[in-house]
Amino acid sequence: MSPTTGRRYPLRMVCWAYGIPRSTVYAQGSRRAGDSGAKRGPRTPVSDAELVEAIRTVLRSSSFLGEGHRKVRIRLRPLGIYAGKERLLRLMRENGLLAPHRTGHRHGDRSHSGTIVCERPNELWGTDATRFYTRRDGWCWLFMAIDHCSQDIVGWHVAKKGDRWAALEPIRQGVRAHYGGYARRLALGLGLRHDWGSQYTAHQFLGELRWLGIGSTPSFVGEPECNGVAEHWMRILKEECLYLHDFRSLEEARAAIGDFVRRYNEEWILERHAYQTPLQVRQAFKNAA
């Protein structure tokens, strides 16, 4: 109200004249009313404290150690709790519940373009290897193969000696499981992404791929992003399995890794595929075909 004329002016006009936002005026009014600690905006059915406790319950019941706010949001739905991604991210960050992750460096433009993600299963598989330690058998090797579409593990192999024959074993398992046999030119149309390790450049390894009809598509030298699907799964394996065990023997490691691979294929949910598990994604493509 004007002190001279007694005329009332709209709040929007007053804020425009003084150059202040209306939200500041509303916030000051809330503080004077003693509502400074209340959540601004519409009231939600579940308070922040209740939602944090539900998040902790979901994380404790999960089979995995690190799941982000997007997967937690999906796992809260069977409990009847529907919350926004931004709200979940804020609460999990404030309470230290986010999965730990490494921040990478910024990449410039690459000499290649495109994507390594496929639209259908059995178009491109990725393979990679890593080493782990056992007290009785020393350093051992794990080889794996993963589908770039459904992201399920099609084959894996644990061995003391990490040679070209051990590297071939996951590919053989995958061909037998998804092509119904093992014969010449049976897997025509399938590509295999791998790095430049000595196992994958060996004459025997590449020769057997050609015999099966599998095309070799090696990643660019010094650019592990080209084999990112397999590299990402290797990080999951280390964080969820290898780093958590002090293996006594190769047999004990084989049992633990096999159990993790089974749980991953059956329970790990993929945001890209509407939070389905790898096996559910592959089965959905089979039903559609």
Q: What is the CA radius of gyration of the chain?
A: 27
At 91-105, the pLDDT tens digits run: 999 999 987 766 655
Residue 6 is predicted with a pLDDT of 63
Domain residue spans of the chain: 48-94, 124-288
What does the pLDDT average to over 179-185? 95
Tell me how far apart the alpha carbons of residues 260 and 243 are, in angstroms, rounded to a whole number. 13
Tell me the percentage of the chain whose pLDDT exceeds 70. Answer: 87
What is the arithmetic mean of pLDDT over 33-37?
50
For residue 103, the model assigns a pLDDT of: 62
Q: How far apart are CA 95 and CA 69, in angstroms?
A: 12
Give the pTM: 0.71
Residue listed under structure tokens 């294929």: 265
pLDDT digits (tens, 9 = 90+) for 126-176: 999 999 999 999 999 999 999 999 999 999 999 999 999 999 999 999 999
Nearest to 174 by CA among 154, 153, 147: 154
| Summary count for the chain: helices (H), strands (E) | 11, 5
How would DSSP label each residue in 7-56? ----HHHHHHHHT--HHHHHHHHHHHTT-TTSPSSSPPSS-HHHHHHHHH
Phi/psi at 195 (nearest 5 deg)? Answer: -95, -160
- 109 pLDDT above the threshold of 60: no
Q: Which backbone phi and psi does 217 adopt, to 5 degrees?
A: -125, 80
More confidently predicted of 269 and 36: 269
Tens-digit pLDDT profile for residues 204-249:
999 999 999 999 999 877 676 788 899 999 999 999 999 999 999 9
CATH superfamily of 124-288: Ribonuclease H-like superfamily/Ribonuclease H (3.30.420.10)
Beta strands 191-194 and 138-147 are: unpaired
